[in-house]
Amino acid sequence: MRRRVRLIASGRELLRIRGHYGIDAPYVPLYMGAGGAGLALAAVVLAAIGQSWWPVLADAAVASLASAGLYLYCTLRGKLVVWARILASLRLRGDERALDVGCGRGAVLLMVAKLLPRGHVVGLDLWKTSDQSGNDPAATLANARAEGVADRVELVTGDMRAMALPTAASTSSRAAWRSTTSPRPLDAEPRSTR
Ligand SMILES: C[S@@+](CC[C@H](N)C(=O)[O-])C[C@H]1O[C@@H](n2cnc3c(N)ncnc32)[C@H](O)[C@@H]1O
């Protein structure tokens, strides 16, 4: 019981969110919302001209609009709650190193960084805006500053499918990433807070 209380407290601390983490696959709720609005309009028109099956379209409109709302809740808040619980339950020491593959604007990456005050986190991403709204390393760095963890966050631009994981034999993991993540090497432009 005492352990559970500690985990919940830790998860609550992770949920003091100061950054802005965007919307995952932003076209999805947009299409759901637009579709729902279109169906609602069609239902109104059908009802106005006396068609008896307008409730079918009205039901579909409600389902579509409710799905859009649920989607937005999950992407803006729900996934953060779930991740906070999972990460708090890991009971990290605080000096580990972590890699977030597909970190986006840092929702998970920066929660991990909060749990690693003496550690280091690396976020790898291609920054696709179709996968997350406003996806950009500058947004992630701004979030790292807002969350107070910028000193231990490093960002790398690269494709996870071309990523060679650092091995125990590597002199340092950063050196391994430098030589293997290629679309834009770290040296080409500032990507890191260090
Ligand atoms: C749905 S977003 C999730 C971002 C973040 N993990 C979060 O929970 O907020 C998926 C992320 O994966 C990235 N991504 C997709 N394909 C990738 C690839 N092949 N290599 C690296 N990143 C990729 C996208 O740019 C995007 O930032």
Distance (Å, whole) CA 152 – CA 192 = 10
Distance (Å, whole) CA 43 – CA 51 = 9
Pocket residues: Cβ below 6 A from ligand 1: 21, 24, 102-104, 107-108, 124-128, 131-132, 135, 159-161
Mean pLDDT of 12-24: 94
**Coil, strand, or helix at residue 132?**
strand
Q: Which residues contact 112 (CB under 8 A, 6 or more apart)?
A: 87, 92, 98, 100, 121
pLDDT tens-digit series, residues 53-110: 999 999 999 999 999 999 999 999 999 999 999 999 999 999 999 999 999 999 999 9
Distance (Å, whole) CA 160 – CA 183 = 11
Sheet containing strand 97-101, strands side by side: 97-101, 120-125, 153-157
Q: Which residues contact 99 (CB under 8 A, 6 or more apart)?
A: 121, 122, 123, 124
pLDDT tens-digit series, residues 134-191: 999 999 999 999 999 999 999 999 999 998 766 554 444 454 444 333 334 333 343 4
Which residue owns the Cα nearest ligand 1 atom 12? Answer: 102
pLDDT tens-digit series, residues 101-119: 999 999 999 999 999 999 9
- Regarding the domain delimited by 2-24+75-193, which CATH topology (the fold level of the hierarchy) does it fall under? Rossmann fold (3.40.50)
Rounded to 5°, the CA angle 14-79-138 comes to 70
> Which atom of ligand 1 is closest in space to residue 79's alpha carbon?
8
> Which atom of ligand 1 is closest in space to residue 132's alpha carbon?
2
Q: Where are the domains of the chain?
A: 2-24+75-193
DSSP 152: G
Tokens 């808040």, residue located = 77
